[in-house]
Every structure is written in structure tokens, then in C-alpha cells.
């Protein structure tokens, strides 16, 4: 599954060329996929930029097998396309990792392939083209949780989607994998309402220390221990999950900028207090525990968190079922 070096490293690598013009940095996957992708010029290419396809060959494809159809999204280190796998004759999502993220791409594929669960995006294949990596996965026809939550949603819908996302996270933990970047942009909701946790690019083994220089999660969702570079375990994902749950309920981020470590002391307590009458004591208690600064004060497992959350929101869920 994990093929290394489809073109021999060290030799001239014709398939990935990065050039910068004054107006745009241009990433050309020229040989294999004949795609031209442009991103606005930034000092730190391509973080924070949203690439768009400027032009493509008549039938762009990767390695002749994956026919590239259209761009679905882009993250800090990748561009994701809808594609067609000619060999398996199925639609897929094709994630092209930017040059320099090969290890991250292969790590992501390994992590995702070890978690088989309906609430986790299925990975099919991964490989390498020169100094770029790609992975193919199930195509989720829908939107990210971030976009999904922009439409008005009932509490029952919100809790049901968040419980499913939590089940995906718990399945990763059961397989010994930490997600480390759980947030609304990394959860996908398909048109039928199925929820899939995506983007295992930072995933790691269940106990790990953040290494200086190691890319870490997204600041507003990052646990205090991760922000401080301390040892992280599944309880760190609980914090990110609860920061996301808070955002879904409150309609705004828990920490608008920076990490919890940058926020004034007492921010979490204050914000949860403001929500307490809306959400009720039991949901408040789940959030307060999952967002505890000391991991020892959180739930011991994601499954325990989910059991308490499910019990707390049962009245809302069953009023919809009736």
C-alpha cells in the first residue's frame, strides 16, 4: 500500500516543480497529473492560502490511474480533489500533500488505515511522487462541520453530529491513535448526515511528547498540555472535542485567537457559565470536565465522555425521534 519513490529520488524530478512569480506561487504537478494549481504568494508557502485550479490538461490524472475531477478543499499542507479511480472504478478523494509533507502524508495514511469505523474517513491507498505524497480515500459528498454549522441547526442535530464525531475519535483511541487536530474543519458531514472524522495528518501514538519544531494542532482547539509541549494522550483530544462542542453550541469559538494558554485566566469558566442556562447542568458538566486544564480532571476515556454526553442530551434526541 505504501509505495515509496515512484520516481527515483535524487534523479531529476520532473513531476513537481514549484516556482514563484511576483503575483503567485505556482505548484505544478506536471508530469503525472498535468495540473496547474495557483496559490497567492505568501512568505510561508502555502500555509493559510487557498489554492485554486487555474488550468488543467484535457484529462488530468495521477499516475494514469486517478482521474482528477475537481478541487474539494485545501488545508495548511494539502490540496484535496474529487477523482475517479479507473482501476477500481469508483469515485475517491485524492489528497496531494505539498512537497515537504511526505512523512506527514504517509503517517496520515497509516493512522487512518488502522482505524476502521463508520465515523472515520476510510483510506484506500497512499504513495509518493518525487518529493510529494498522495493518499486516496473515500469521497465524502458533503461539507465540513464548520460549514455545516453555518446553517441553522436544532440542538438535536448538533448533538447527534457531535456524538458521531466523538465515536470516530473514540475508535481512533481504541486503535491507539491520537488525532491531535480535532476541529470543525476536520470533520465531514455528508449529504445524508453521516459524520466522518478526517485529517489524521498530525496523528500519533496514544502517548507522545510534542517535540519542539514538530507541527502541532490548531491553536484555538489545542489542549493546554499540547500548547506547552508536554506529554499528550487521549485526554488532549477530549479538550479539542469539547472546544468544538462549545463552538457548535455557542456559535463562536471558545478562544477566538491563540491557545488556551494565551487566554486570560478563568476564560473557560466564564464562557461556560454564560451558557449554563441554555444547555442545562448535565451538558455543562460534560464541557466543564472535558475542558479541564489539568488532564487528570478530564474523563479517563473518550467513551466515558460520550456516555455522559449521550445521557445528558437524551431528552433532546428522543423528542426528535417521536
Ligand X SMILES: Nc1ncnc2c1ncn2[C@@H]1O[C@H](COP(=O)(O)OP(=O)(O)O)[C@@H](O)[C@H]1O
**Catalytic residue list contains 233:** no
Q: How far is the CB of 35 from ligand X (least distance, A)?
A: 15
- Closest to ligand X by CB, 51 vs 290, is 51
Q: Is 216 in the site for Mg ion (CB under 5 A)?
A: no
Binding mask 30-69 for Mg ion (x = CB under 5 A): ----------------------------------------
Q: How many residues bind Mg ion (CB under 5 A)?
A: 3
At 77, phi and psi to the nearest 5?
A: -130, 10
Which three three-digit cell numbers place residue 73? 478543499
Report the distance separating Cα 175 and Cα 147, nearest Å.
29
By CB atoms closer than 10 A (0-12, 13-18, 19+), residue 112 is buried
C-alpha dist (Å) from residue 192 to 61, 83, 186, 196: 29, 21, 18, 12
Looking at the chain, how many residues does it have? 322
User: Angle 302-321/267-290 helices, nearest 10 degrees?
Assistant: 90
Interaction site with ligand X (CB under 6 A) = 72-78, 80, 93, 95, 121, 137-140, 144, 185-186, 188, 198-199, 201
CB within 8 Å of 310: residues ≥ 6 apart: 163, 317
Asked if 220 interacts with Mg ion (CB under 5 A), we say no
Q: Can you tell me which residue has the cell 506527514?
A: 104
Task: Establish if 234 lies at the interface with Mg ion (CB under 5 A).
Answer: no
Number of residue whose CB is nearest ligand X = 75
Nearer to ligand X (CB atom), residue 105 or residue 234:
105
Rounded CA gap, 94 and 82, in Å? 6
Residues in contact with Mg ion, shown as a per-residue x/- string from 172 to 191 under the rule CB under 5 A: --------------x-----
199 is a contact residue toward Mg ion (CB under 5 A): yes
Residue 73 touches which of Mg ion, ligand X, none (Cβ within 5-8 Å per kind): ligand X
Q: Cβ closer to ligand X: 243 or 305?
A: 243
The reply to whether 240 sits near Mg ion by the rule CB under 5 A is no
Where on the chain is the footprint of Mg ion (CB under 5 A)?
A: 75, 186, 199
Amino acid at each position: 500500500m505504501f509505495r515509496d519513490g515512484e520516481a527515483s529520488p535524487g534523479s531529476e524530478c520532473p513531476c513537481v516543480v514549484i516556482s514563484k512569480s511576483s503575483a503567485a506561487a505556482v505548484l505544478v504537478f506536471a508530469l503525472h497529473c498535468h495540473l496547474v494549481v495557483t496559490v497567492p504568494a505568501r512568505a510561508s508557502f502555502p500555509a493559510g492560502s487557498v489554492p485554486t485550479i487555474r488550468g488543467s490538461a484535457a484529462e488530468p490524472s495521477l499516475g494514469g490511474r486517478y482521474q482528477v475531477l475537481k478541487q474539494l478543499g485545501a488545508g495548511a499542507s494539502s490540496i484535496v480533489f474529487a477523482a475517479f479511480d479507473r482501476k477500481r472504478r469508483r469515485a475517491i478523494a485524492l489528497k496531494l500533500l505539498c512537497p515537504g509533507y511526505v512523512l506527514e502524508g504517509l503517517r496520515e495514511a497509516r493512522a487512518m488505515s488502522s482505524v476502521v469505523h463508520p465515523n472515520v474517513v476510510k483510506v484506500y491507498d497512499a504513495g509518493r511522487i518525487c518529493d510529494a505524497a498522495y493518499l486516496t480515500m473515500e469521497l465524502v459528498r458533503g461539507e465540513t462541520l464548520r460549514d455545516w454549522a453555518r446553517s441553522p441547526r436544532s440542538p438535536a442535530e448538533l448533538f447527534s453530529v457531535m456524538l458521531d464525531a466523538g465515536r470516530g475519535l473514540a475508535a481512533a483511541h481504541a486503535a491507539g491513535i491520537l488525532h491531535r487536530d480535532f476541529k470543525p474543519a476536520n470533520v465531514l458531514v455528508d449529504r445524508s448526515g453521516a459524520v466522518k472524522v478526517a485529517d489524521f495528518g498530525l496523528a500519533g501514538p496514544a502517548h507522545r511528547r510534542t517535540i519542539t519544531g514538530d507541527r502541532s494542532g490548531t491553536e484555538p482547539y489545542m489542549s493546554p498540555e499540547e500548547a506547552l509541549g508536554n506529554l499528550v494522550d487521549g485526554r488532549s483530544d477530549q479538550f479539542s472535542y469539547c472546544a468544538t462542542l462549545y463552538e457548535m453550541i455557542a456559535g463562536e469559538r471558545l478562544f477566538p485567537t491563540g491557545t488556551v494558554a494565551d487566554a486570560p485566566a478563568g476564560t473557560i469558566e466564564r464562557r461556560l457559565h454564560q451558557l449554563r442556562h441554555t444547555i442545562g447542568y448535565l451538558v455543562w458538566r460534560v464541557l466543564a470536565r472535558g475542558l479541564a486544564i489539568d488532564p487528570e480532571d478530564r474523563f479517563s476515556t473518550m467513551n466515558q465522555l460520550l456516555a455522559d454526553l449521550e445521557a445528558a442530551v437524551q431528552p433532546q434526541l428522543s423528542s426528535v425521534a417521536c
